[in-house]
A and B are shown apart, each in its own frame.
Chain A
Amino acid sequence: MFEPKRLHPISAIINFVKTLKDAALPLILVLVLNGNIFRGNVDWLPLLIWAGVLLLVLGSGIIRWLRFTYRMEEGELRIEYGLIFRKKRYIPIDRIQSLDFSEGIFHRPLNLVKVSVETAGSSGNEKAEAELTAIRREEADELEEAIFQEKKHKWSGYDEESDMGGEIEESPREKVYGMTMKEIIMMAITSGGAGVVISGVAVFFSQFMDLLPVGTIYNEILDWIQIGILVVAFTVLVLLLIAYAISIVMTILRYANFSVFLDADDLIITRGWLEKKQMTIPLNRIQGIKMEENLIRQPLGYASVTLISAGGSVLKNDEHQLRLLPMIKREEVSEILKKVLPDYEVVKDFHQPPKRSLVRYIFRHSWFGFAAAIPLSVFFFPYGLLSILGGVFLAVLGWMAYKDAGWNVLRDQLTLRSRGIIKQTYTMKKYRIQSSYKKQTYFQKRSGLSSIEVTLTSGNGRALAYCYYMEEKDSNHIMEWYRMKKIREKPAKV
């Protein structure tokens, strides 16, 4: 593992394609502006420039491949690269949190993987600490193994939590969860885009129904206008449906073969058909879990479970990537979590805010809707009144938020449930909570209510869990629970 290694030559091509993709627009512009290609009298100069640029890009891709080497040396992953300026990046193995593998269309046929190196500190950055564009899978496994060995060597008290688990012999990864095709399809159908499509269809049909008795054609001009509207509406509808279909197919492609493995101290999530993704989440980086039920999925009894994890930059860009259970029957969550994260317990019964907070919830959710309804009603008189319905809808949402709010303290675990639009249930350990707030206005003080907010570290900064307008003694209880010292409540073994 000490001799410098190159990436697979295909990465030159990948570099080339990537640069080309970035530079595509100007290149196409040159082609288009130089429009007379198609007319025969070709102006050769721009074309030559074009070809030159292409060659240059290809050349730089190849040179960059030639220049890029990586090796393991003295407990560091050493990467040297750079087209004109030679750059060296040495990453201490200690700091490497995980290696994430992904396979694009170039990788698949050649059994290659792209490796992203994640370090503890890379959460704030845009990109992964280091990226190996394409290496053979065996090499990637070798690298992972080498890092693992190296860490095992060095680890003494650096991260006791993981060390405790270190006794476990290198176990083959154990599959703890797999998504069924039915669940993936359900997820795709009920995704956020669905709401737009459904309302689109509803609007279309309400129009269509009005126009249906076309048999009475005595005002042809009017009809023509209406048909014009119909055509537009139909086109929009078709476009929406196509977009919807595409999003369904994309979701299926992205989540196909979704499975979760447990490998000693890491959680490994793999998914995808065309582009395979593998993510490694060290168990000791997990800060908490969040269960979400949106308005479409909740009536169907489905929820999604997301991990809140510190660090990891790839996780940042795509919120879906942290999904542990993207689409799951609510009742099954508890059972699966018992296998994956036995420390966390899904609680059923919640303490709820008292009756007198209901008004506050409704007001909190709907005041803006009603306030906005006033000018709308005044300025667009008869139809503007419809905006009051928006306020009513928000008020209902507020009522639901009241119903859904709740908290539970179970040993060292806090669960807070709340609803903005989506119902969210955060479950977290005391020793993962970064800070906790109790908030109270003057009027809340008079009626003995207050709110609790707690923060967790997450890949993109922080996650905030809350429960509003609970009994003041309850929030005091939570604050006391949070403050109470810590008789080593952390489990001895992960």
Chain B
Amino acid sequence: MDHQPTQRISLRALTLWRIYGVIQAGIILLLTIGLTVAIVLWGWPWWLWLIGAGVFLIQFLIFVWLVPKLRWRRWRYDVREQEIDLQQGLFIVTRTLVPMVRVQHVDTEQGPLLRKFRLSTISISTAATIHKIPALDEQEAERLRQSISSLARVAEDDV
């Protein structure tokens, strides 16, 4: 339990998450612009603008620069013959073990942005839970899906 899992998700995930961050920051930016207009038009107190700009800056820093980096660095996984081992989480680091016997099915999914980056998210379902590995390389995800589903079929079942 001491060593982390070895596999990492695709580096392109970093770019993808940064784009998500930029989109979020864009929304905040629009709000700030709206605020500016309100300040100019109706003479709202000027310090409101400072707050708006501050929020935008912080949000930009955190969600475009910091969070994707940390998230990517934390995300590790391993698919072994008997189990799937995941590690994720920004502040709360979660280590998840899913025995192969428990796996019921595996899906891969791909939204338009993910497709653009040739990435794909894999979700592994047990009878009770769904575990996702986000933003894997398309081919890697495909390979993983097949290997998990064949491993899961081999593993003896006892539910």
Q: A-side interface residues toward B, CB under 8 Å?
A: 161, 310, 431-442, 445, 455-458, 461-463, 476, 479-480, 482-483, 485-486, 490
Contact = CB atoms under 8 A, between A and B. Distances in A.
Contacts of B126: 434-435, 455, 457
A364 to B, nearest CB: 13
A311 B128 CA distance: 11
A161 B97 contact: no
B62 to A, nearest CB: 16
B105 to A, nearest CB: 13
Contact of A435 (B89, B92, B131): B131
A458 B93 contact: no
Nearest to A439: B94
Contacts of A490: 158
Contacts, number: 77
A435 B1 contact: no
B102 interface: yes
Interface in B79-103: 82-83, 89, 91-99, 101-102
A403 B109 CA distance: 45
A456 B159 CA distance: 11
A161 B158 contact: yes
Given A455-B129, A457-B159, 4 more contacts: A437-B96, A441-B91, A445-B93, A456-B128
A75 B14 CA distance: 55
Contacts of A434: 98, 102, 126-129
Given A161-B158, A485-B82, A490-B158, A479 B129 contact: no
Contacts of A438: 1, 94-96
Contacts of A441: 91-93
Nearest to A284: B159
Interface string B106-149: 00000000000000000000111101000000000000000000
B128 A482 contact: no
B128 A479 contact: no
Given A455-B128, A456-B128, A457-B127, A439 B159 contact: no
A456 B129 CA distance: 9
A435 B94 contact: no
A415 B42 CA distance: 64
Contacts of A462: 128-129
B92 A476 contact: no
Given A161-B158, A457-B128, A480-B1, A435 B93 contact: no
A486 B94 CA distance: 24
A291 to B, nearest CB: 20
18 contacts: A310-B127, A310-B159, A435-B128, A435-B131, A436-B96, A437-B94, A438-B94, A438-B96, A439-B89, A439-B92, A440-B93, A442-B91, A456-B128, A457-B126, A457-B128, A457-B159, A483-B82, A486-B82
A461 B98 CA distance: 17
A479 B158 contact: no
Contacts of B89: 439
B95 to A, nearest CB: 4
Contacts of B91: 441-442
Nearest to B125: A434
A482 B129 contact: no
A440 B82 contact: no
Nearest to B97: A436
Contacts of B128: 434-435, 455-458, 461-463
